[in-house]
């Protein structure tokens, strides 16, 4: 039995003249870019999920914390056991660094509402007043130094010896 493969060989030869070589390079590049895009999207989604997880945990933890207690508004008093919110000169001394030769006077700190004033003796025997302000959450902070302030500008409704008006 003999097969007549001549016409089949002729047809295959004609087809090979018109066909080209298979170009696998472009397909490989396209697939590589597709894989890269998927990796970027996956990594970005994981990073966003991590940020939200951490942020949610922090928000939940801070939401359940109690607010720091607010000090009661006080009348004009000096430092002492009757007004524990009014700082001592030792407490105020920890907030500021006085220049050499300067010291807090022996007179007690005067507190009016959320303001405290302390006399400071200078090396030349003159004095100046240091003014401190209390803010909830941050506590007592140094505000200014001078010889007197306008009570209305400070928001005081009660008279104070460190006010000029």
| End-of-domain residue from the set 36, 63, 90 | 63
Cα-based angle 97, 99, 102 (whole degrees, multiple of 5): 105
Do residues 48 and 81 both lie within one domain?
no
Give one DSSP letter per residue of 16-71, joined into a string. Answer: HHH-----HHHHHHHHHHHHHHHHHHHHHHHHHHHHHHHHHHHHHHHHTSPPPPPP
Q: Is 165 a member of any domain? A: no
- Answer yes or no: is 159 within a domain: no
Indicate if 83 and 123 belong to the same structural domain. Answer: yes
When computed from its CA atoms, the radius of gyration of the chain, rounded to whole angstroms, is 41
3-state secondary structure of 1: coil
For residue 98, is it within any domain? yes
For the stretch 33-83, pLDDT in tens is 999 999 999 999 999 999 988 988 887 777 766 555 555 444 444 443 333
* Burial of 87 from C-beta contacts in 10 A (0-12 / 13-18 / 19+): buried
DSSP 149: B
Residues 43 and 87 in one domain: no
pTM of the full predicted structure? 0.47
Q: Are residues 93 and 132 in the same domain?
A: yes
Domain hosting 103: range is: 77-154
Do 90 and 145 belong to one domain?
A: yes
Q: Report the number of distinct structural domains present in the chain.
A: 2
User: What is the per-residue pLDDT across 88-143, written as a single tens digit (0 to 9) for each?
Assistant: 888 888 888 888 888 888 788 888 888 889 988 888 878 888 899 888 888 888 88
Could you tell me if 85 and 141 lie in one domain?
Answer: yes
């Amino acid at each position: 039995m003999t097969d007549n493969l001549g016409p089949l060989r002729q047809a295959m030869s004609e087809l090979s003249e018109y066909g080209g070589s298979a170009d696998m390079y472009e397909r490989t590049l396209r697939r590589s870019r597709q894989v890269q895009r998927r990796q970027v999207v996956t990594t970005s989604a994981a990073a966003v999920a991590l940020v939200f997880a951490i942020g949610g945990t922090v928000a939940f933890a801070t939401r359940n914390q109690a607010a720091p207690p607010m000090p009661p508004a006080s009348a004009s008093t000096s430092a002492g056991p009757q007004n524990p919110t009014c700082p001592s000169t030792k407490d105020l001394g920890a907030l500021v660094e006085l220049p050499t030769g300067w010291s807090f006077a022996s007179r007690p700190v005067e507190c009016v509402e959320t303001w405290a004033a302390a006399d400071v003796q200078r090396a030349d025997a003159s004095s100046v007043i240091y003014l401190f302000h209390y803010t909830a959450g941050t506590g007592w902070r140094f505000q200014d130094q001078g010889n007197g302030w306008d009570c209305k500008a400070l928001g005081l409704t009660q008279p104070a010896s460190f006010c000029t008006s």
